[in-house]
Structure 1
Amino acid sequence: MEYTELADYPLPDGAVSTWAPVCEPDSWSDDDRKLTHDHEAHLASALPGSWIGSVLRVPMRYDAEVLRRALRAWIARHEALRTTVSPGESGWRRHLIAADAIDVTERSHGELSGSVAHDTISEHFAGVTPDRWPHCLFATIALPEGFVLAFGADHSVMDAYSQLLFFGEIVELYERALDGVPDEELGTLDVGSHVDHSAAARSLSEVVDAEHPVVRHWAEFLKDGEFPGMEGVSSQAPAPEGVSQHSLSRWVIPSGDAESMERLCANLGTGAQSGVFAAVALAMRERTGSEQLRFVLPMHTRHDRRHAGAVGWYVGLCPVDIDLRGATDFREVVSHTRAGVSAGRGCVKTSFARVADILELDAEPRFVMSYVDVRKVPGAEHWPDWGARALRSPEASRDEAYLWVIHSDEGISVSARCGRTDSALEAVEGLIAGFEEKFTDVLGAPEALEVGA
């Protein structure tokens, strides 16, 4: 599994259609469940044309009416996709539409080349906004055998895990729709509501004050008044405005080596995530001489089992400070890494936007790393055959670096974006190469690897 821009995914020539959910204007009803602080912050800061999504090749004959039913059922199942917001006198108001009031319409664009299809679909997805429904749009390319299906959604209704759940769920829905399963049955799924989750998260965050341990932890992490940046990226001259960031993706660790690291970390009493970030910390120390690796780690908030299969934005932020001082072998590096992540884990459930309000902080993360183990996501074993890939839109160039480490059955890939400068790209590519080298070195001599004092 990789996480790239649509431009990096090879689209075939074929008959292109774009799709959009629709409803009657009087179908909406007011909903008093509150938005999270993070959702409100997103509404205030989201950049035009920003979206996340997924793409795959569905290995079944293309039938537009069957697909319409499958897409409609997917939206019906997940309440997050049937809500929107509007500004009111006292803040944002939520609105809801019933599952049976949704339909999906198709617009045909005719036979297009793969390159023109990229442009057409990208333009369609760029129409997604956080304050105007629908918050999720679709596109297809019909082929002699099967079809390409993609979607782009606003982050307020979608997270990375939702992007991954889509693959297996939509293929199953399409197959069942082909078999003639009734719409009511297709649209029924016993799953939690992200809208309920948001209301509960809002209530939890509203009791937080300046003396709360989470606020104190963030205040210490951000004592300089800003987020830490990646060495070699944020210390450089600001990236030019009006151009897209550099975007890259690399397969760095084969599946066998990834499994070996997981076994090694299990013997050290921890998981593969600790081994991955330990290797990154070692690579950064070798490149920069720094004993500290400081970044922000997005982590899921799907703690209720009923939300495990739900579509929505179930993400909080964990401040990570890995201090390698005194670590002389990989066992100690892993221990320091695990401690650096564990120390900030308690911050994840509390909205960072609420913390920022309390601290009167106007700053955004500048160095973000994610570790996503996707091997147990339903349908993951089929992703290589489906050409499944998670997508993100191009972003305007800013002084930041994002890295996504994805652990799948195929191995470990690293996707990244950073400011549009040569120095930023060199730093990110160098860190990825260094991570691969340190990861491999550790597996070569895990018991006695000397990493320096």
Structure 2
Amino acid sequence: MEYTHLSEFEIRSGALSIWTPVLATDAWRLDDRPLTSVHAAYCASVDPADLLPGRGRWIGTVFEMDAPLDGPTWRETLRRWHARHEGLRTTVSTASAGEHRRLVAAPAAVGIGEQPVGGLTDGARINEFLRGALEERLSPLVWPHCLAATVEHADTGDFTVLVAADHSVMDAYAQAILILELRTLYREVMVGEASRESVTFGSAADFAVLERASAAELGPDSAAVATWREFLADGAMPRFAPHVKRSSRPGLPQPSVSRRLLDLDELEQLEAVLDQVRHRMSVAVFAALAVANQQRFGSNRMRSVMPIATRPDLRWMESMGWFVNVVPVDITLTPGMGISTAMEQTRGALRRSRTANDASWSRVLDLLDVTETPRFGISFLDIRVLPGYELVADLRGQALRAESYSPDEVFLWVVRAADGLYVSTRFPAGLPAEVMDEFLTAFGQALSSIAAAAAYPGPETPEPADSRTPCTDALRVVQAG
């Protein structure tokens, strides 16, 4: 399951429909539960007059449903989905002094409307149409924050599904789990079954209560604040290879690259080595990136932010919402050190970053009077923590991100998929493509060198387990921010 742009997914030709949640104007009720710190800051950063509020902001999922499209069944599927997840029935209202308050609608209040798009059946034209529609219609300030589209393929008896949302109501974990959830709901409706009930569909608003309470406890002397303070000692967020960037015309879309770094045989060989030396795959990934950074750019220090999932309890395991935090990662390598020592250094750096795991990064930056947002981020996800991950590949499931137009952001997403290890990246138009290509090549070579160094002696004891439950440890997958 790669993390790509919609433009990189080939939509097969067919009949297009847009499915939109609808509510009566009097359905909203003011809710006293707060927004999370990052949600509040995100809403405050958006211009309500922006004609393209979804530009560079929406995320989503596309897959092919292995069943024929039946309109009433699909409408009921989406209605049940919205009824189940309070986060999809939540929006914001601007109160006095620009404060954003939470509004919530009741489960039974949501209906689903269908808009067939006539005269548009070519897959490439459908793709272009959808990209424009999502930029125009998805906003953190205007509900609905989530839209769905279907493309019916009458010749093959199946249909493509696109679900896209503003980031405020969906995160990377939600992007992945919604595929099998919607597939299950569709089949339940088709055969007349009641929807599965579970305590794991917890409300994102209830999580926000805990997050804001935890954020309020942070102070200048908190360990997480100290970690961030050291990370930002030079006064700026880290950049990726700033010395190689060229000037470019403003407003250009960022290039995007996706490639497989290791096939399954190579990956399993690497994982066997990591088991021997008792390192996690995340350590290998970040160590290899630090080595590539050292080799290609001559820097012994690699600093980046790392988005992580923050679903602290089983009740949010299957929730739709924005459960994400950002932590700093600061890795320093000694010139000439081998890959085994680099992994030891990296493991120590990732352990240090854990001090910030449960501390709201937006609250920490407020305490440090830092207004700059992250410019270089790295995410790692092992797709095998997701239920039914093998079927996701069979359904052509892809996680999607909107095209970005940032002149200085670089993000990398590394995914342990069912058939190998993948990396996706977006970077400024002013960063030469050959520079990124050389860096990714060096990254892959550094990973391969770990397997080649299988004989080196590893640490004497395994990495200690922390106090999280197996569930929350698995959910602490790194996400796209």
Same fold (TM over 0.5): yes
Indicate conservation of the 8 Å contact 2:79/2:112, yes or no: yes
The one-letter code matched in structure 2 to 1:251 is R
Q: Within 2, Cα distance between the matches of 1:372 and 1:154? A: 21
CA deviation profile, 1:94-153 (whole Å, cap 9, x unmatched): 010111111111100134201110122112222110011111011110002200000111
Q: How does 1:29-428 map to 2 (within 5 A)?
A: 29-46=29-46, 48-49=53-54, 50-89=57-96, 91-110=99-118, 111-126=120-135, 127-144=137-154, 145-181=157-193, 185-186=194-195, 188-190=197-199, 191-231=201-241, 233=242, 236-325=245-334, 328-423=337-432, 425-428=433-436
CA 1:148–1:222: 2 relative to 1, 3 Å: same
CA contact (8 A) 1:57 1:149 kept: yes
Pairwise CA distance, 1:448: 5.0
* In structure 1, distance between residues paired with 2:366 and 2:452: 48
In the other structure, the counterpart of 1:430 is 438
Q: Give 1:252 shift.
A: 1.5
TM-score with structure 1 setting the length: 0.94
1:4 paired residue number? 4
SS of residue matched to 1:55:
strand
> Which amino acid is 1:17 matched to?
S
Counterpart amino acid of 1:432? L
Q: Is the 8 A contact 2:339 2:449 kept in 1?
A: no
The 1:58/1:234 distance shift into structure 2, 3 A limit, reads farther
5+ long unaligned stretches in structure 2: 47-51, 458-481
Q: Which amino acid aligns with 1:406?
A: V
Q: Give the superposition deviation at 1:208.
A: 1.3
- Are the equivalent residues in 1 in contact too, given 2:300–2:335 (CA < 8 A)? no
Q: Aligned partners of 1:187 and 1:79: how far apart in 2? A: 16
Q: Contact 1:11/1:115 (CA < 8 Å) preserved in 2?
A: yes
Given that residues 70 and 186 in structure 1 are in contact (C-alpha distance below 8 angstroms), is that contact kept between their aligned partners in structure 2?
Answer: no
- Would the aligned equivalents of 2:15 and 2:151 in 1 still touch at CA under 8 Å? yes
In 2, are the aligned partners of 1:125 and 1:151 still within 8 Å (CA)? no
Number of residue pairs matched? Answer: 444
Question: Residue by residue, what CA displacement relative to the aligned partner does 1:321-377 show, whole Å, maximum 9, x if unpaired?
Answer: 111127733322111111111101121222111112111111111110000111131
Q: For 1:407 and 1:341, locate their aligned partners in 2 and report how far apart those are by CA, in whole Å.
A: 18
CA contact (8 A) 1:318 1:341 kept: no
Asked if structure 2 preserves the Cα contact closer than 8 Å seen for 1:247 and 1:416, the reply is yes
Query: Does the Cα contact within 8 Å between 1:239 and 1:397 map onto a contact in 2?
Result: no
Query: Which residue of 1 is the match for residue 464 of structure 2?
Result: none
Distance (whole Å) between structure 2 residues aligned to residue 140 and residue 54 of structure 1: 12
Unpaired segments of 5 or more residues in structure 1?
none
1:237 Cα offset (Å): 4.0
- State how far apart, in whole Å, the 2-side matches of 1:234 and 1:62 are: 52
What's the offset of the Cα at 1:261? 1.9
1:440 and 2:445 correspond: no
Q: Would you say the 8 A contact 1:124–1:137 is kept in 2?
A: no
* SS, match of residue 43 in structure 1: helix
Once residues 206 and 345 of structure 1 are traced to their aligned partners in structure 2, the CA distance between those partners, rounded to angstroms, is: 19
- Shift of residue 422, structure 1, vs aligned partner: 4.6
- Relative to structure 1, the CA distance from residue 390 to residue 445 in structure 2 (aligned partners, 3 Å threshold; closer, same or farther) is same
Secondary structure, in 3 states, of the residue corresponding to 1:303?
coil
Given that residues 267 and 420 in structure 2 are in contact (C-alpha distance below 8 angstroms), is that contact kept between their aligned partners in structure 1? yes
- Give the AA of the match of 2:357: V
Report the CA distance shift for 1:329/1:417 in structure 2 as closer, same or farther (over 3 A).
same
Matched residue of 1:33: which SS? coil
Residues 179-198 of structure 1, C-alpha deviations (whole Å, 9 max, x = no match): 122xxx32744222111101
Which range moved further: 318-327 or 305-314? 318-327
Distance 1:189 1:448 in 2: 47
28-37 vs 42-51, greater mean Cα deviation: 42-51
Change (3 A) 1:228 1:141: same
Q: Helix, strand or coil: the match of 2:279?
A: coil
Which residue does the alignment assign to 2:466? none
**Partners of 1:448 and 1:348 in 2: CA distance:** 31
Aligned amino acid, residue 167 of structure 2: H
Task: State the secondary structure of the residue aligned to 2:356.
Answer: coil
1:112 counterpart SS class: coil
Q: CA 1:342–1:448 in 2, change beyond 3 Å: closer, same or farther?
A: closer
Mapped pair 1:25 → 2:37: no
- Relative distance call for 1:240 and 1:203 in structure 2 (3 A) is farther
CA distance in 2, matches of 1:363, 1:441: 36
Offset at residue 85 of structure 1 (A): 0.4
Query: 1:259 deviation in Å?
Result: 2.1
Other structure's SS at 1:27 match: coil
